[in-house]
Every structure is written in C-alpha cells, then in structure tokens.
Amino acid sequence: MAREHHLAPAERPQAYADAIFSIVATIMILPLSGEAVKEIADEENLLTGLGEMWFKLVIYAISFFLVSSSWDLHAWIFRMIEKVNETIVLLNLGVLMMTTFVPYAFLMFAEHPREPLSVVLFCSCVAIQGFFMLAILLHAYSRPNLLKKEFVQQGKEEMKLQRTRATIKVLIRPIIYLITIPVSYGSIEVAWALLVLAVLKPIIFLIVDAIIKCAKGKVEEGTSLFKLSRLYSETSDVFRTNGFSDGVYAIVATLIILDICVNNVPAEGILDVHGTLAEALAHDASVFLSYAGTFVTICLLWYLHHSMFYHIRAQNSLLLTFNKLALMFAGFLPIVFKLTGEFGHLVRNNNTSVAVQLNSGTVFLASVWFLAIWITAMCKKSELLHPSAHGTHDCVFMFLNLLIYPIVSLVIFCVCFAVPVPSAVINGVQIALIAVFILLKLVRNWTQRCVSEHDPEESPETDVELSDYKGQPGGPKEGGLEGHDNAAVESESTSL
C-alpha cells in the first residue's frame, strides 16, 4: 500500500508529451524557411530555387511522419497505463529529451544527406527514443498496479502474450535504425531506403505478427491481419489526437510572426533611408498582409478541425493517417508565408504566380484531407460519430464548410495559369473567407430553426445528447463505442 502513495494519474505526462511532440514536429520547418528565402533570393527565380531544395522539403515530410508516428506509438503505450510512478515519469522525460534533439538531427541530415555521420546521428536519436519507450512498456507490465484494470483482469498468460506482441511492435523501428547505421557507411542510398522503410513500420509489424501467428498454427487469424477492414474496424478515443493537433496548429500560427520580428523591425539605418517609421513599415506592407492572410488561414483550418472532432468520438487508423497528412501540410505554411510575402509582389521571372500557386496549393493539401477525415467518419458513423451528428442537416453543413478551402484554393491555383495573380489577391481572399464561414453559419442556424418549427419533436437538444457520450475527458465512456476493443494489442494503430 505504501507504493500507492507514489502513484499519480497518467494524464499530465501525456499532455506534456503531446505538447513536446507537436512542437518538435512543427519547428523543424523553421530552419528551412529562413534558408529557403535566402537561397531562392540568390537565384532570383522562385521555381528554380524550389527545385534546388526539394530534397530538404521531402526530408521534412519524412521527419514529420517519423515524429508523429513516434507520438502515435507513445499514445498507444499510454493507452494501457492508468497510473505512473517516478520511474515511468523519468523514462518519459528520456523519450522527450531525444524527441527534442530530432530537429537538430533532421537539419544535419537535410544539410549533409550523403554524410554517413549525419545518418548515424539521426538514426541514433530516434532509436534511443524507441528504447526509452520500450522501457516504459516493460516497466508498466512488471507493475500491474500501473495498468488499466481491463488489461490486468485478462490473466497472466494473456498479459504475457500482449507484452510480447507490444515489445515486437515497439522494437521494429529501433532495429531498422540500428541496421541503417552500419549500412550508411557502405551505401548511403540503401540507408535512405531503410529510413523510408521505417515510416512503414506499422505494415512491417502486421507482417511479422501474421508470420508468428501462422507459425503457431493460427493461419486464419494470421491472414486476417491483412484485411483492409483493419484500417477502419479498430478504434480508439480522440482525446490525445485533439491535443496533438491543437499543438501543431498553435505552433504554426506562432512561427509566422517570428520572421517579422527578426526581419521587419526597421533599424536606424532603414529609417534614414525611408525618412519616417511609417514609410519604412509601408515598404513591408506585403509581408504584413501575407502574415494576416496566413494567420487567418491557420486559425480557420483549426476551426474546421475543431468542428469536425466535436462530432467525432473515436478514430480508426485510416482517419488518423488522414489527420497526420493534414497536419503535415499545415506545417509547410510558415515557409509558404515567407515565400509569398517576399516574392508574391514581384513581377519578374513569373515569381508572382508561382508564389501564389505555392500558397494556394499548400492550403488545398492542408484542407482536402479534412474531407477525407469526414467521409471516413461518415462511412463508419455508428462507431466514430456522436449520435447527435447522425442527422442529415449537420452532416451537409459540415461538408459544405469543408469544401470552402479546397474549392477556393483550387480556383486560385488554376487562374494563375491564365493571368498573373499578385499575393495581395490571395491574402485578401483568405481574410474575406471569414465572412463566408460566418454567412454559412447564419444559414445553418436559420435552416435549423425552420426544421425545428416544422417538426419540433425530431430536434433534440444537442448539448444534452453530447453530455451523455462525453462522460470523461479521455474520450467516450467505457463500452460506449460499438466495436471499440479495449485490449492493448488489438487496438493498436496501423496508421503511418
């Protein structure tokens, strides 16, 4: 009983980890955004400059997926843990320490991709992070009082089996990285391929798990692991997904002001050139307009994400993968903002149209995955959506909200092929979209009142319904999800 006094709820370490993972996943774009404008400015051609740094942008995308996948694994492990002791807290800090080192390792790899030492640094960082996670898992299973009751009640044999499968799942990625380290000294291209393979770790785990089951004579159970239905049949709560997503959007919205603070505060010498502070600031008007348009875009993307997940009570692997893709493209917005502000007002070398197309294309990719998320949720609405969101009225207006950014961005992108579009136009459109969302909200409320007056018996109070399904902050009430399996290894994510 004395040990029980040293135990604490697991929520706070999870929230702290969500914040660290979201910050790390996002700030990796910051060094590239500063370097990109400098390199492209030297070229004086935006398209040529982007072509020369495409590899670094791809490395950022891969690194974002690796960090978000590490967060996914961290969330999966803590889904089994109800309480933490000092050992788990310290091991968790070890995970986060290695996570915070990832941006440096990423930048070294992006700058020197053919140097084996940069590959060793990157792989060692993520491999050690994985071993810390494995230590958390094994320590939790060695102390049943730390695990959730549903896992302990399954018996020692079942717990032993679950621990073995969980260990394999956690070890796959560190093993790939350890193999990559010596390979990088022989063939750097093969090392790159292994890094890409590490992103596909969930698929590798399925293959290994299926082989083990087939070797034990459970052929039917092993082959069932490859069914596509696994992508949408296994569900988990969205509590930590919301926290991670909020962190990404918050950091992206904050990063865009850093460049203005560094580069657009007039120095004394600048005032001597322009005469007054007002004239000096007016010289950078395009940058401030680009900041306003980008900030509004990020906030409205978060608003759409919030509106969707207000109705979503559980997630499957397919939905989680779409969410990661949406967040990854949102992570490109700081560099897009800087390029739009610097080149969107320049007519020479067709930089204007390219900058606007880059902006609109990134916003399109950051928003179109919301449609994929909502369609996925609608296809499995009995398991993923709150009952209050099953009505046609709410679903239609949610779909209309999600269509706004993809349509507007695609139209602007295509128009740029016909006529040059300055950055002021797309920034003005981005700011004006606030009015479109407000108008759509007013139309939604008006139609809802009309429906309520026509048939008041079929319009229950939304707040009352939602309160029945949001009994705890961690997600749906126990047993509240049809098809929701609380078993540790059966509810693991197969998302990338």
Q: How does DSSP assign 230-291, residue by residue?
A: HHHH-EE-SHHHHHHHHHHHHHHHHHHHHHHHHHSS--HHHHHHHSSHHHHHHHTHHHHHHH
335 and 411 both lie in a single domain: yes
Element (H, E) at 8: strand 8-9
Q: What DSSP designation does 385 have?
A: B
Question: What distance in Å separates the CA atoms of residue 25 and residue 456, rounded to the nearest whole number?
Answer: 47
195 and 261 both lie in a single domain: no
**Structural domain contains residue 330:** yes
| 326: nearest Cα among 382, 371, 286 | 371
> Which pLDDT score is estimated for 340?
81
Residue 55 neighbours by CB distance under 10 Å: 10
**Structural domain contains residue 231:** no
**Structural domain contains residue 456:** yes
**Structural domain contains residue 480:** no
Q: What is the gyration radius of the CA atoms in the chain, in angstroms?
A: 25
- Residues 464, 468, 469, 474: what is their CA dihedral angle, to the nearest 10 degrees? 110
> Which pLDDT score is estimated for 108?
87
276 and 405 both lie in a single domain: yes
- Residue 430 has, within 13 A of its CA and on its CB side, a CA count of 26
The label of the residue with tokens 């890409």 reads 196
> Which pLDDT score is estimated for 493?
55
**Structural domain contains residue 291:** yes
Using the 3D structure, point to which of 198, 226, 254 is the last residue of a domain: 226
3-class DSSP state of 393: helix
**Structural domain contains residue 337:** yes
- Residues 387, 392, 394, 395: what is their CA dihedral angle, to the nearest 10 degrees? 90
**Structural domain contains residue 79:** yes
243 and 221 both lie in a single domain: no
**Structural domain contains residue 491:** no
176 and 293 both lie in a single domain: no
41 and 99 both lie in a single domain: yes
The label of the residue with tokens 């657009």 reads 264
338 and 366 both lie in a single domain: yes
Question: What distance in Å separates the CA atoms of residue 356 and residue 13, rounded to the nearest whole number?
Answer: 41
197 and 251 both lie in a single domain: no
244 and 222 both lie in a single domain: no
209 and 260 both lie in a single domain: no
Total domains, the chain: 2
Domain range for residue 445? 239-469
Using the 3D structure, point to which of 171, 205, 226 is the last residue of a domain: 226
Q: Which residues of the chain have pLDDT under 50?
A: 1-2, 458-491
> Which pLDDT score is estimated for 352?
81
3-class DSSP state of 81: strand
Strand 315-316 and strand 8-9: the pairing is unpaired
293 and 411 both lie in a single domain: yes
| 207: nearest Cα among 230, 190, 234, 180 | 230
Using the 3D structure, point to which of 159, 191, 226 is the last residue of a domain: 226
> Which pLDDT score is estimated for 483?
40
- Structure pTM? 0.82
**HEC-encoded secondary structure of 39-60:** HHHHHCCHHHHHHHCHHHHHHH
308 and 257 both lie in a single domain: yes
> Which pLDDT score is estimated for 466?
42
* Angle at 397 (CA atoms; ends 394, 403), nearest 5 degrees: 140
| 335: nearest Cα among 113, 67, 54, 108 | 54
Q: How does DSSP assign 179-216, residue by residue?
A: HHHHHHHH-HHHHHHHHHHHHTHHHHHHHHHHHHHHHT
